[in-house]
Chains A and B, each alone.
Chain A
Amino acid sequence: MNNVAMIIGKRLGLGVLTMFMVSIIIFLAVNMLPGDFAQALLGQSATPEAVAAIRKDLGLDKPIHTRYFDWLIGVMQFDFGTSFAKANFSSYGGTAAAANFGTVADQIAPRFANTLFLAAVTAAIAVPLSLLIGVLAALYRYSIFDRIANISTLTSISSPEFFVAYVLILLLAVLNPVFPSLSNIHDGMDFTQKLQKTMLPALTLTLVVTAHMMRMTRAAIINLLASPYIEMARLKGLSPFRIIVFHALPNALAPIINVIALNLAYLITGVVVVEVVFVYPGVGQLFVDSVKIRDIPVVQACCLVFAAAYISLNLLADVMSILSNPRLRLPK
């Protein structure tokens, strides 16, 4: 058991280190964006004094490393700073105290919860579905079923997301009004309402992520079918289904888990297009809007949240792969 604790500890440490590196990259990259908030706000004809005043208000005049560490210390206390857009509003109101107004954390938190909700609904559909199709495709490999599964999942992953989204809207909202085409969920809704509203974006994303996971499941299982222990299982007279599920699948888990983690991370970070099509209030839209107006604290926070999602999901996948392998879990 010590062995596993050590491996996991190492992975965690690496995760933290990666997060730190990513924070530097994010900070530098965002600060290298051309133009700044003051310029963007005041327009072409602004006097240098006015620009400098706003920059001073926002602390943009300090040297970059000072700003980085100020930001980092804040982040470690879950204080992502104040949105420039809101802060600006406060200085018009005559109070310098931004604390009364929305912080970045306040802004992102509900959006992030929505994003997680969408990702969770999608995962709840897509993961079991792709595992099932993958197992069946491996079981009936080279059959009609296998071909259809492969072709249809490939088709859906190859189509642009917005196209899949509009096809689904056409089929499930317009021709057969089963689900609403707008997913503008808010806090006042109960779970079933939210679920119903989220269904169409979730289905769209399911179509996008299923192919990858299903094909990896199939490939990982088929890869093992030539192993001596699978031949042994066949020679024990077991049913083909049992051989796949009981003998092949447990040994194929590590690659499958990794692909699932990658796709879940994608669900959290890469769904801007789907959010836009369905007017879903997730982090993606907020992110794009903030980049447009150079609202640096929000952009940085979004990037950080995305990075954290990627790193922690991959970390989780690593840990689960280790735990699913008795050779690592129980040393000799």
Chain B
Amino acid sequence: MSATEPLVKISNLEIDGIADETRTRIINNVSLELNRGEVMGLIGESGAGKSTLGLAAMGFTRDGCEIVGGNIMFDGIDLVTATPDVRRQLLGKRIAYVAQSAAASFNPAHRIINQHAETPLCHGVSNRAEAEADAINLYQRLRLPNPDEIGFRYPHQVSGGQLQRAMTAMAMSCRPDLIIFDEPTTALDVTTQIEVLVAIREIVEQFQTAAIYITHDLAVVAQMADRVKVLLRGDEVEEADTRTMLAAPREDYTKSLWAVRSFQRPQKPLATRGAVPVISLRNVTAAYGNNDPVVRDVSFDIHEGRTVAVVGESGSGKSTTARCITGLLPPKTGEIAFQNKVLPADYRKRSVDQLRQVQMIYQMADTALNPRKRIGEIIGRPVEFYLGLKGAKRRRRVEELLELIEMDPREYINRLPSELSGGQKQRIGIARALAAEPKFIICDEVTSALDQLVAEGILKLLTRLQEEMKLSYMLITHDLSTVRAIADEVVVMKDGLIVEAGPKEEMFTPPHHAYTDLLLSSVPEMNPDWLDELLAQRGAENLGDAAVSKM
């Protein structure tokens, strides 16, 4: 074949999803061309069909999906009509896959290097010794610590970011022509993400591998892709090379995606001196069982009508702090005060009124709502428990709450959680917290499971409610753009300690604490040269985990 022929040519692809005998179109007449050595970014919100399209480029459909039209040519082979054997010969060997969660996609029962060597062995590319030597070589190139030894560990013994790099190495094991990256950094902390991004980009360039990079994060795609294709509910919105797309998106939908990041409400003035804080933590130290403390000597105040963002990476103690405030985990030492009155450490010893004042909204609205209860019941229960309203009064209150969160009571009061979208479920979570008429709400990563447009709606709602009811929020997040959007004060935590705290505007202007600086500088920006500039400025050794461990 000629060198100008594209490596992958998908034309007019149509894929149906089949559930309970009803068909829904997941991919609607999408075409895609990818040349050798080229990286294409696929972006869109959840349900846009990104993963389905990415997997289709491998000739693979998940159970319950069916290709109903179009064709997929890979290097002259029609993957739609090819026999399963022919497809299997290509998978792993010429087309490889890097999954979203390496922790879930590595088999927990086998050592990493055995899983790595499996692909070249089963495809007859090399023998075990060669495959292992090559694996160690790839680990070195991907800058994994202890490359000679790390492969001989089990997946649970390796951190998330390292696993994701090991998975990229595994995808490279047969030097494929094409790799599908399916949200490879979505589950990672920002400082870890950046390392993985650098590693992926280097290795793809070194081996001139073509790639399809699937993500919902525009700033990430800006760093990684040569061209970008935007999908919306199975339809192609537009495609252009990355710089053009960023500078001048044509379609309204693309523009709206771009605009999401701009939501920001101004910081409120600090509470006046001597004002009584709604919640104050005083030297709180907490641990699970008799283990080492995961929160150490943490103190901060949250004032009326203010939002305090607690920022940090996974394992920094953010959520544990929240558990201490709610009384789920009594602290070892220190105390929590509500309007200067110390709360009992254990929630079981708190009065109903004390419990009422502290409410929580969870990250996963899916699991935080009882799937068998109707919306009216979910919100009605705290109304009855905390306020003692029954019957018609209770129903009226539930309707008011639904209106407050901009959902029509007539339409939604009798629905089950499964009949709502992700954003709507999160709104119900908010209404349930409001039902107690609290002064203070803990928002635990409330937007991180949501698409950006939906997340923006939730943030605006939270802001409006705060204005109307003088609520105080503690916003737990690892996403600095959320912090920028709605926080007044910021508390940065690392390894259970507060490393920096202050008003938002101060936090986002230098000089910072070294860790805050690392966090801030690790957040990808929409500038396609951002990663290059950062690399040039800091060097690959001063990014991510490597930089964290130097502190």
Tell me the A residues contacting B by CB distance below 8 Å. Answer: 226-229, 231-239, 242, 246-247, 250-251, 324-327, 330, 332
Contact = CB atoms under 8 A, between A and B. Distances in A.
A326 B105 contact: no
Contacts of A242: 122
B92 A228 contact: no
Rank and list the top 6 A-B pairs by shortest CB-CB distance, nearest first. A237-B91, A237-B92, A236-B92, A250-B109, A228-B104, A235-B97
Contacts of B90: 237
B154 interface: yes
Interface of B: 55, 58, 60, 62-63, 87-93, 96-97, 99, 101, 104-110, 118-119, 122-123, 154, 156-157
Given A228-B104, A237-B92, A237-B122, 10 more contacts: A231-B62, A232-B99, A232-B106, A232-B107, A233-B107, A234-B60, A235-B97, A236-B96, A236-B122, A326-B109
A240 B96 CA distance: 17
A239 B154 contact: no
A236 B94 CA distance: 10
A322 to B, nearest CB: 13
A238 B109 contact: no
Contacts of A324: 109
Nearest to A236: B92
Contact of B92 (A227, A235, A251, A332): A235
A332 B159 CA distance: 10
Contacts of B105: 228-229, 231-232
A330 B107 contact: no
Contacts of B110: 246-247, 250
Contacts of A246: 110, 118
Given A228-B99, A228-B101, A250-B109, A237 B157 contact: no
Contacts of B119: 236-238
Contacts of A332: 156-157
B314 to A, nearest CB: 15
8 contacts: A227-B104, A236-B92, A237-B119, A238-B92, A247-B109, A250-B109, A326-B108, A327-B156
Contacts of A233: 107
Contacts of A228: 99, 101, 104-105
B118 A236 contact: yes
A327 B118 CA distance: 21
B93 A237 contact: yes
Contact of A237 (B89, B106, B109): B89
Nearest to A233: B107
A229 B107 contact: yes
B176 to A, nearest CB: 10
B109 A236 contact: no
B104 A238 contact: no
A227 B119 CA distance: 19
* Residue among A235, A327, A330 facing the most chain B CB atoms (10 A cut-off): A235
B122 A238 contact: yes
A266 B123 CA distance: 45
B138 to A, nearest CB: 15
Given A232-B97, A327-B156, A330-B157, A239 B109 contact: no
A314 to B, nearest CB: 23
A88 to B, nearest CB: 59
A288 B46 CA distance: 66
A239 B63 CA distance: 17
A229 to B, nearest CB: 4
B58 A235 contact: yes
Contacts of B108: 229, 251, 325-327
Contacts of B87: 237
A332 B315 CA distance: 15
A332 B104 CA distance: 16
A238 B173 CA distance: 14
Contacts of A247: 107, 109-110
A36 B272 CA distance: 88
Given A236-B92, A239-B88, A326-B156, A229 B118 contact: no
A332 B156 CA distance: 7
B106 to A, nearest CB: 6
A6 to B, nearest CB: 14
Nearest to A235: B97
A251 B107 contact: yes
A305 B104 CA distance: 44
Contacts of A330: 154, 157
A234 B122 CA distance: 12
Contacts of A237: 87-93, 119, 122-123
A10 B25 CA distance: 54
A246 to B, nearest CB: 8
Contacts of B107: 229, 232-233, 247, 250-251
A220 to B, nearest CB: 13
Q: Which of A226, A231, A237 has the most CB of B within 10 A?
A: A237
A233 to B, nearest CB: 7
Contacts of B101: 228
Nearest to A225: B63
Given A228-B105, A237-B122, A327 B91 contact: no
Indicate the member of A239, A247, A326 with the most B CB atoms within 10 Å. A326
Contacts of A234: 60, 91
